[in-house]
Amino acid sequence: MVSFFIISIYFDYSLNRYTGQTQRFTKIKNFFMHFYSLTCIALPPPLSFFSINYGTLGTAHQNAGKQKGSKDKELGMAPKKPLEEYAYKYMKQRINDGTLEAGVIYSETRMAAKIGISRTPFRTALAKLRQDHYIDILPSKGFQVHNMTLDDIHNTYQSRIAVEGYCTLYLHWNKHTPEGQAALKELDRVLHDAEHALNRNTSAGEYLPLDDAFHQVIVAFCKNRELMALFENYNHLLRLIALKTFEAPGRFQQSLSEHREIYQSILSEGAHAGEAVYRSVIRHIDATKQCALSVLEQNNTASEGG
């Protein structure tokens, strides 16, 4: 009995000592749970306070962390996690939602101050953003949102064919499963919404999320984090240029028609159905690529003229 109370006291001390260190806290917790199950099964009920005490403390520890994180968020403070990771996610979000505009040069010092971190972790975040093609760093000037190049266009659309070609085939192969049926139902809904948007003369900015949603359903069906990460990355790279492609006359209708073709190919049966699926994806992505190349050419011509 005495030895067990000593263990309980030591456990409380360990909790206090390792507050905020979740991994080590979990190891200590698991050790004592195991020890308790081996040694205390036959002990009288009063000693059950040990597991209750430990569970309460564990819950309190977690709640305290959540409350502190919420408080920091309310105050607009950078959370206590790797600052470069926080800065990377913050900047990525601001680029994706259009807060950071293309063609504008931003100051490293001012942006770091705005986020509330020093320049060192902010520069680390910028280096990763540059590596992921979110920004271009301009020596002695600052940085700006990345401008797509001809190589970017070719590389990105080849990546699209590789990722989406496989994912569409995977859905085709599994279309009769409950998960496959659910994905097909969602694709049908997205196509229906896109058709309504087209009839309402929706703007490019309003139509683009529906276009993205069609492809996202297909890629997400694979439940592969690496493929989804690739999809999200190139989807970002193409976002600005995709908006421009939808400004071309008839591109809404053409894109919707290509999506319907992909959808029907997924439903198809027969020995050559898989080939039909892959070809429908290639046709759609190649048509989108040609539109993107036209936009890039127009942008380059405008820059040279300016």
Angle made by CA atoms 132, 239, 281, in degrees to the nearest 5: 95
What is the maximum span of the chain, computed from C-alpha positions, in angstroms? 88
Report the SS3 class of residue 138: strand
pLDDT in tens, 96-143: 777 888 889 999 999 999 999 999 999 999 999 999 888 999 999 999
Q: Where are the alpha helices (DSSP H) in the chain?
A: 2-17, 22-39, 49-75, 83-96, 108-115, 119-131, 150-173, 178-199, 204-221, 225-237, 239-245, 251-267, 273-305
CA-based nearest residue to 175, from 243, 265, 107, 59: 265
Question: How many C-alpha atoms does 133 have within 13 Å on its Cβ side?
Answer: 17
The yes-or-no verdict on residue 305 having pLDDT over 90 is no
Query: pLDDT-derived band of residue 79, with 50, 70 and 90 as boundaries?
Result: low
Pick from 14-23, 68-77, 236-245 the range whose average pLDDT is largest: 236-245
Domains (range + CATH), the chain: 2-75 (no CATH), 83-145 (1.10.10.10), 150-305 (1.20.120.530)
Tell me the percentage of the chain whose pLDDT exceeds 70: 72
Interval 187-204: pLDDT, tens: 999 999 999 998 888 888
Task: Please list, in sequence order, all residues whose beta carbon lies within 8 angstroms of the beta carbon of residue 273, skipping any fewer than 6 positions away.
Answer: 172, 265
User: In this structure, are strands 135-138 and 142-145 parallel, antiparallel, or unpaired?
Assistant: antiparallel
pLDDT average, residue stretch 27-33: 45
Q: What is the mean pLDDT of the chain?
A: 79
Residue pair 45/17 in contact (Cβ under 8 Å)? The answer is no
* Whether pLDDT at 17 is above 50: no
The confidence score (pLDDT) of residue 272 equals 94
Return the pLDDT at 302: 62
Low-confidence winner among 60-69, 220-229, 259-268, 282-291 (lowest mean pLDDT): 60-69
Task: Report the percentage of the chain scoring pLDDT > 90.
Answer: 50
- d(C-alpha 227, C-alpha 216), whole Å: 11
Backbone dihedral angles phi then psi of residue 100, each to the nearest 5 degrees: -90, 120
Position 45 pLDDT exceeds 80? no
Residue 14 has pLDDT above 60, yes or no: no
